Amino acid sequence: MHNLLIVVAALLAQTPAAKPATAEDAKSFVKKLDGDLRKLYVRQSTAEWIKSTYITDDTERNAAAFNEDLMAYLNTANKEAARFKGLKLDAETERMLYLLRISSALPAPSNAEKRTELASIAARLEGLYGKGKACKTGKDGKQVCRDLQELSDVMGKIADKKKPASYDELLEAWSSWHETSKEMRPLYERLVTLSNEGAREFGSEDLGQLWRSAYDMPPADFEKETDRLWTQVKPLYDDLHCYVRAKLAKKYGADKVSATGGIPAHLLGNMWAQEWANIYPLVEPYQGQSSLDLKKQLVAQKYDPQKLVKLGERFFTSMGMDPLPATFWERSQFVKPPGRDVVCHASAWDVTFSNDLRIKMCIKIDEEDLITVHHELGHNYYFQNYYTKPVLFQQGANDGFHEAIGDALTLSITPEYLKSLKLIDALPKDEKGLINVQMKDALEKIAFLPFGRMIDQWRWDVFTGKVKPADYNKHWWALRLKYQGVAPAGGARGEDFFDPGAKYHIPANVPYMRYFLARILQFQFHRAMCQAAGHKGPLHTCSVYGNKEAGSKLKAMLAMGASKPWPDALEALTGQRQMDATAILDYFQPLQAWLKEQNKGQQCGWQ
């Protein structure tokens, strides 16, 4: 056991078990807890940063060791905290004890050998994803390997004007990436077993129940809440799916795209068919309207990665936020470094929990990464506004809040805003231009919703044992068809594949429901900020760029962190205490009415 843990264990054991616990004991416990966790979080976060930006066997092993230390401490601390159950405590102490119980997305068993094994498996799984490459022998006999970024570039060329990727090229790129996750399957099966054992020691029946406990309501109620929100938005998604499928069937033929079935996963412009913006030219409602190709203008104006991030920072500072610290520009990873493996999946960090803000990206100069930059800076500005609080309060009111902040501001990237930056030449002239803009937005934001809903449903079913390892892939595609209306590329996929592992958040063990909630909350936040800004008119015409009143409301919510239950934080910005998807329907009302007209005579839905 590391020296720090020996000290921690001794400190936690200093109160005799026979002595009845008091409210004052609980208060002293959480004060010491904050100091201990801060040290452990900083060590773990630093090791994770190094591992993610320099993947080697050594950095994986180093990160696993610090994760193991944190797992051990959380296991011991949770057992000690059980002494205070049933006591009448002050609100802050009660809140910290609750957050302690739900603090680990990967709780470890108390058995030291199993804890070491779990930490090692977790590091190995993420390493396999980061190092994943699809290799084949070229015509010259040499091996040619492509990583995720290169394979995703192929997927993104589905509608390239100069040289679009063919059906077979898309299928080959999709299939190649999904081959890389096969090795993960036995490791993931073991991770499920060990993390479930840890979750039971934390007082939950399984890991999925522990995750669902993190929303200030009973786990069963939270699952019903996600179903309620999905029911609110599903009609809009169904209308979009119906229109897109008809367009793709016309392009590729009924033999490749069924008129009544799921859309093949490789035909939606994204490796996971989670966002469909790249197929916009194939489904564009009205040709000849103002150009919405931001990439062309970004390149023409000589945007580089840092300039793109500066653009995102300017949006936040225009609303009264502070500039990013100088260390952000020194320590962030903006591009993929040559000659070494890194995790290119975009993420935001406060490595030392003290305004040590960073982003980790492999930035491309295009519209997708313009949006991603705003999303990641949303995390950074959340960090910046709550970093003075106790470390357990340094998180979103719920995890969906954290993901929603930057995306809420991207809703203010209106045509008028883009024209002011000279990123588009002219504003949409009429309703046709508006429908084009809304279609492009919907392909990114609405298309994502069922994908966001189903990822954790798959894991919840796996963690409970409802789905056995022998059916991992079968259940994955059953849920993708049920929620998304998406089918596997190239036909049925057997259990020799582990297609869930081809999505980063599965091997990295990152709960995914946060992204579904974020897509709901961002519109709710946007509507509230527009109301604070005094906006009149349709919601889709509102931009809060430069509005200090909207910024002040936002900052008030950000500064709360997780110090209060999320309905309190939601109320601070929106005046509402329930998550509400009706703002999405308000925003996309023009598009939904148009889609219903276009889909007349079509057989919508899927079998």
> Which residues are catalytic, by number?
345-346, 375-376, 379, 403, 505, 515
Alpha-carbon 152 to chain mean position: 18
CA proximity to 485, closest of 446, 518, 436: 446
Alpha-carbon 19 to chain mean position: 45
* Alpha carbons 174 and 146: distance in angstroms, whole number: 12
Judge whether 193 and 111 are in contact, CB under 8 Å. no
Six token digits for residue 390: 């106790």
Six token digits for residue 407: 């995306």
For CA atoms 281, 375, 486, 497, give the dihedral sign.
positive
Any residues with CB less than 8 A from the CB of 262 and at least 6 apart, and which? 480, 481, 484, 485, 486, 487, 606
DSSP letter assigned to residue 500: G
Q: Coil, strand or helix: which one is 302?
A: coil
Judge whether 365 and 373 are in contact, CB under 8 Å. no
* Alpha carbons 379 and 278: distance in angstroms, whole number: 25
Alpha-carbon 404 to chain mean position: 9
* Alpha carbons 523 and 67: distance in angstroms, whole number: 36
Judge whether 403 and 518 are in contact, CB under 8 Å. yes
- Residue 91's CB is within 10 A of a number of other CB atoms, namely 10
Six token digits for residue 429: 């002239």
Q: What are the backbone dihedrals phi and psi of residue 301, each rounded to the nearest 5 degrees, phi first?
A: -90, 10
Residue type, 306: Q
* Alpha carbons 232 and 147: distance in angstroms, whole number: 38
Where b means 16+ CB within 10 Å and e means fewer, 418-449 reads beeeebbeeebeeeebbbbbbbbbbbbbbbbb
- Residue 475's CB is within 10 A of a number of other CB atoms, namely 17
